[in-house]
A and B are shown apart, each in its own frame.
Chain A
Amino acid sequence: MLFMRLELKGITKRFGSFTANDAIDLVVEPGEIHCLLGENGAGKSTLMNVLFGLYSADAGEILINGESVHFATSGDAVRKGIGMVHQHFMLVPVFTVAENVVLGFEPTKSFNRVDYAAASDKIRKFSEEFGLEVDPDAIIEELPVGIQQRVEILKALSQEAELLILDEPTAVLTPQEIESLIKIMKDLAASGKSILFISHKLKEVKAVADKITVIRLGKVVGTGLPTDSEEELASKMVGRSVNLQVEKSPHNPGTPMLEVKNLVVRDERGVAVVNNISFSVCQGEILAVAGVQGNGQSELVEAIAGMRPVESGTITINGTRVDNASPRECLDAGLAHIPEDRQRDGLVLKLSVADNLVLNTPRAPQFAGRGTRKLSKVRENAEKLVQDFDIRTESVDAPVGSLSGGNQQKVIVARELSRNVDVLIAAQPTRGLDVGSIEYVHKQFIRERDSNKAVLLVSSELDEVFSLADRIAVMFQGGITGVVSPDSTREAIGLLMAGITEHTNV
């Protein structure tokens, strides 16, 4: 097996007048984990698509072990030993693991039949060699996301990839799955594979990288080492100094605005995923709900926002009972909601930015008359919010789906915060966002808190929880295992997240 040394020289890719990649140089040594760090829209994905044969470069060359290569299709790239693990997996959901892995490179027996026995053997062999445990006969859609990603990696390896490109691989993973992926990447590198890891998450990059290349606005702006501080890397990536520490005034809670008592919520299978939870959030404070994903946080938020029936218990927003109320009644009671899945629950992607900015106030008198809409007012409102919240969009008439993830989230934040509300709940508000957008969203939350709103933040990012929260409630298997102060140690919260409750205080 040949190890691969990949070199990109002066890669330039233009789309019309826009230069997505500007003379990019990059070297990946065999057995090296090379991180490509950059914000969303910096040109990382374009570069990877050039490297994987999906785009052809306008200038520059790709060298593999010193030899210049040209890829017309991704098939060419695969044949030269480049494997890609896409952010949105390229797996057929109804196929088995084996069918997906051999697709395009099928071992056959007589009559052109696919030799699935050989395929399964091959998968087992690779599974063992690289410690990627997968059942070849499992159906993809029945597997958790983390395992599906393993199948993607296996697929690339079975096509004899020597260089693996991982495009934002952690965006869809839970913290445990991320740990497991990092271990897999290190094992692969140790066995001689080269890895090109694309990310904008500094912690992960520091945890896994041997070398770091930072790109911004299509250009390489610097290189780094995993020993560099997060602030250093972040400022290279964003192009200005970034304050990762959120500054906020002392905790000074007022009267309770959101009260949850003995709440029980069941999921589709009838399991009590929120099991007898009580807490309250006061004016001027941020209560963060921490926990490993899938411990009832999503259902808790949905119940409060009126999107999921409540089995028993009460939810009160500023004195109004809203358990089993409709989403509209919850909003009218003074709730702003930033949902976990912004593209499914937060936006109508094909509608314009302006329309999305008034989605929660369709009948408000300033935007609607008797059966007609006041389109000029909707536009005015949009232009003001785009200005105030720094939403980067061509125009307020552009479909919101054409915006970057960070700007989509800003649309939601702008919409929800532009109403005068008492309670803000936000679920995973910075998932998939770049550093600049995260910083921005965090600032908005602090601003809301300081203007005496009650904020409930649900996040599985412990960094976020620590930097924003006034109090931290930890959820485990549908219950709250403890409410602690943000001065607590990570270890203490980790234990609570695992359901161990001796350290409860505050």
Chain B
Amino acid sequence: MELVSTLVTPDVVIRRDTPAGRTRVIGAIMSLMALFIFWVFALGATSKASSIITFNPLNTSGGAPWHLASLTLPSRVSALVLAIIALAAGIETIVRVPASRVMARFGFVSILFLLGLFVWTVRSSGPSPTNFIDITDVLVNASGITMVLIFGSMSGIMCERAGVVNIAIEGQFLGGAFIGAIVASSTNSFVLATFAGAAVGALLGWVLAFFAVRYRSDQVIVGVVLVTMIASLTNFLNLTFLTPFQQYNTGVTPSSIPIPLLDKIPIIGPLLFNQDMFFYMMYVLVAGMSFALFKTKWGLRVRAVGEHPQAAATVGIRVKGVRYFNVILGGAIGGIGGVAFIALHGQFNPGFTSGLGYIALAAVIFGRWRPSGAVVASIIFGLTSMLASGLQSFDVPVSSEILGMFPYIITIAVVSGLIGRVRAPAADGIPYKQD
């Protein structure tokens, strides 16, 4: 051994191999999307068809100091151009295998795909079109659902980064929405409703933490049970309380708060700066969480607890305390998401969140457990959900239920590692046992 030890080989640092194959898969998917644009959107329109795209929402354009001219596009040629650009991007990705910004390229092609869809959706057979689509309208309509998804995914990230799977987001939505409707209807104050929703969400978070942390129950099962229980409970209370006493479910909604000047910017003004209080609260939440999780001492400890609780415990971090705190906080965020949903929707209806909490969970995964990623995922899912319901008014031969599957298909593709590499916090969902 003595002699051998003198023949020391240099320490090798193992590098992760570049996922070239995966990049090519994404390139291939992009190319397929391009071909879809060509086959369906371009060839699906007659050569004479045209499409009108506008940028001014009907309700605000009157008072707006700006006016973007609407575009009248030849449907087939436009779709063809989109298809060519998308194909070029897809082939470039396959051939060059860029080391970074692969997902940016994919996002770009997705946008082209959406534009192609719009152009095709509103095509009119003659040269004097009757249909039009308003881009700003589309985005504003999608923004509400996106906002709720973002609240939900922040709730999920808060819990899962500490190692507890929060599958109960749906339940926190429903609970928050129920109490939010009552408080908002009776006090007319959405600030009070927010506090009430946060309290209910926190309570549900505590129940999850109590079983998951204290009794080390299976977190997924506890979460599913919570959702089922809250859904039934709100159904029951709706029937016995809200139906006879309709003054507690009046359907009030908060007013929009325009940010001076910024709200006048074309497209992004009405989209980002003329929204209700929950929308602005969401900005603060996302920025705050990104900062807190990745820059602060608190965030480092939370992530350590979610990755390797034993290691955290040996340096004196109270693993169970961190988990309790985060799950309760995450529950409160989910509850506020429910209030944001009632603010969007007006009246409480039993089960009306219809699985939004699970889509938020998908956004957590798609967004790789990062607030910024979850925002992008929520936007994609929000747009799809909106399209699923919004396209029905047009002549589209795709059922909204099929489109509604889209977020889940994407999630399966992501989780199976088809698009990019995702990795949950290592201790996510695993109960911590102290020695």
Contact = CB atoms under 8 A, between A and B. Distances in A.
A92 B8 CA distance: 28
A113 B2 CA distance: 47
Listed residue (A49, A113, A142) with the most chain B CB atoms within 10 angstroms of its CB? A113
A261 to B, nearest CB: 29
A111 interface: yes
Interface in A64-101: 73-75, 78, 84, 86, 89-95, 99-100
B304 interface: yes
6 contacts: A84-B314, A92-B307, A94-B426, A99-B300, A179-B8, A292-B9
Contacts of B16: 142
Contacts of A187: none
Contacts of A112: 296-298
Contacts of A73: 316
B369 to A, nearest CB: 11
A143 interface: yes
Contacts of B401: none
Interface in A97-124: 99-100, 102-106, 108, 111-114
Contacts of A438: none
B15 A142 contact: yes
A475 interface: no
Contacts of B291: 111
Contacts of A144: 11-14
A269 interface: yes
A499 to B, nearest CB: 9
Contacts of A142: 13-16
A104 B300 CA distance: 9
B409 interface: no
A104 B5 contact: no
B95 interface: no
Given A49-B435, A114-B297, A175-B5, A92 B311 contact: yes
Interface of A: 49, 54-55, 73-75, 78, 84, 86, 89-95, 99-100, 102-106, 108, 111-114, 138, 142-144, 146-147, 159, 175-176, 178-180, 203, 269, 292, 462, 490-491, 494-495, 497-498
A490 B298 contact: no
Contacts, number: 116
Contacts of A75: 315-316
A23 to B, nearest CB: 23
Contacts of A490: 1-3
A78 B311 CA distance: 13
Contact of A494 (B7, B11, B298, B303): B7
Contacts of A146: 11
B207 interface: no
Contact of B311 (A103, A269, A497): A103
Contact of A92 (B9, B304, B313): B304
Contacts of B315: 74-75, 78, 90, 103-105, 159
Contact of A176 (B8, B17, B307, B310): B8
Residue among B1, B2, B17, B307 facing the most chain A CB atoms (10 A cut-off): B1
Contacts of A180: 8
Contact of A93 (B15, B295, B310, B426): B426
B4 interface: yes
A105 B423 CA distance: 27
A143 B13 contact: yes
Contacts of B1: 175, 179, 203, 462, 490
Contacts of A84: 314
Contacts of B295: 111, 113-114
A146 B221 CA distance: 40
Contacts of B2: 490
A176 B9 contact: yes
The 6 closest A-B pairs by CB, nearest first: A75-B316, A104-B315, A494-B3, A179-B5, A90-B311, A498-B7
B308 interface: yes
Contacts of A49: 435
Contacts of A78: 315-316
Contacts of B304: 92, 95, 103
Most chain A C-beta atoms within 10 Å of own C-beta, residue among B12, B14, B316, B435 = B316
Contacts of B423: 94
Given A111-B296, A490-B3, A494-B4, A74 B316 contact: yes
Given A292-B9, A462-B1, A108 B297 contact: yes
Contacts of A54: 435
B367 to A, nearest CB: 17
A420 B125 CA distance: 82
B8 A114 contact: no
B313 A74 contact: yes
A357 B284 CA distance: 60
B86 to A, nearest CB: 33
A144 B317 CA distance: 27
